[in-house]
């Protein structure tokens, strides 16, 4: 796959190196030449020192042949515009923009862009790890609006059913592991203390489950 990465800061350089290690062809664009020093010494891809939106730069980068583009500068305006142009003008099939400042997230959403809000997502993950150690997030979808959580069933819920646990909660049960053996859970299944549950839930659903299982607000 041929991918263009716009922005060679910490995120862009790491992304470019990861893609390159997976044998993708990568071109990195940044208007500050010294930014390319963030790339590993083993980097063998192409670099272009220029403003991504300057005339002819995206064409010079080969955007007509690109299967993917990630715009990951620290400017939300640049990221949104570059991603929008790549998607609507050049018809790049897979475009992702970085939301740097959460206050600018509506700009990306208004353009209908596939987006990663690294600041908001990172803060949310830190909060979850600090506050919710008994209900551990293991997979995040989108920008954390829905996550898959893993938890051990407490003694207080021994003998009660999965249906009771999930009743009225924005969640979907994924798996139940007992004695090291996982199964697809049935609503009528009775829980045993120490069972390991995986379930997907919205943020509100996760809060309700914590309160129901552990008495946490």
Give pLDDT, residue 216. Answer: 65
Q: Which residue has the higher pLDDT, 141 or 182?
A: 182
* Whole-number percent of the chain with pLDDT over 90: 71
What domains does the chain contain, in order, with CATH numbers? 2-118 (3.40.50.720), 125-214 (3.30.70.1450)
Question: Using 50, 70 and 90 to split pLDDT, how confident is the model at 215?
Answer: confident
Retrieve residue 202's tokens.
């919205």
pLDDT tens digit sequence for 112-157: 999 988 888 778 767 765 655 678 888 888 777 898 999 989 999 9
Retrieve residue 126's tokens.
């830190």
Phi then psi for residue 52, to 5 deg, are -60, -35
- Would strands 46-49 and 25-30 be described as parallel, antiparallel, or unpaired? parallel
Instruction: Find the DSSP H helices in 51-145.
Output: 57-60, 76-88, 105-110, 118-131
Q: Please, what is the average pLDDT of the chain?
A: 91
26's enclosing H/E stretch is: strand 25-30
Distance from C-alpha of 96 to C-alpha of 99, rounded to nearest angstrom: 10
């Amino acid at each position: 796959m041929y991918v263009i990465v716009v922005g060679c800061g910490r995120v862009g350089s790491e992304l470019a190196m990861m893609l390159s290690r997976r044998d993708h062809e990568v071109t990195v664009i940044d208007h500050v030449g010294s930014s390319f020093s963030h790339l590993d010494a083993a980097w063998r891809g192409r670099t272009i020192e220029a403003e991504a939106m300057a005339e002819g730069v995206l064409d010079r980068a080969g955007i007509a042949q690109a299967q993917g583009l990630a715009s990951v500068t620290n400017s939300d305006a640049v990221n949104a515009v570059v991603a929008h142009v790549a998607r609507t003008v050049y018809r790049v099939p897979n475009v992702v923009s970085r939301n740097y400042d959460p206050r600018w997230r509506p700009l990306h959403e208004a353009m209908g862009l596939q987006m990663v809000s690294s600041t908001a997502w990172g803060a949310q993950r830190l909060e979850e790890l600090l506050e919710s150690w008994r209900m551990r997030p293991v997979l995040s979808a989108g920008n954390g609006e829905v996550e898959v959580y893993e938890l051990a069933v407490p003694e207080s819920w021994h003998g009660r059913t999965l249906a009771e646990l999930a009743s009225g909660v924005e969640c979907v049960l994924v798996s139940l592991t007992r004695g090291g053996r996982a199964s697809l859970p049935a609503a009528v299944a009775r829980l045993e203390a120490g069972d390991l549950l995986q379930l997907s839930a919205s943020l509100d659903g996760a809060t309700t489950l914590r309160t129901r299982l552990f008495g946490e607000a």
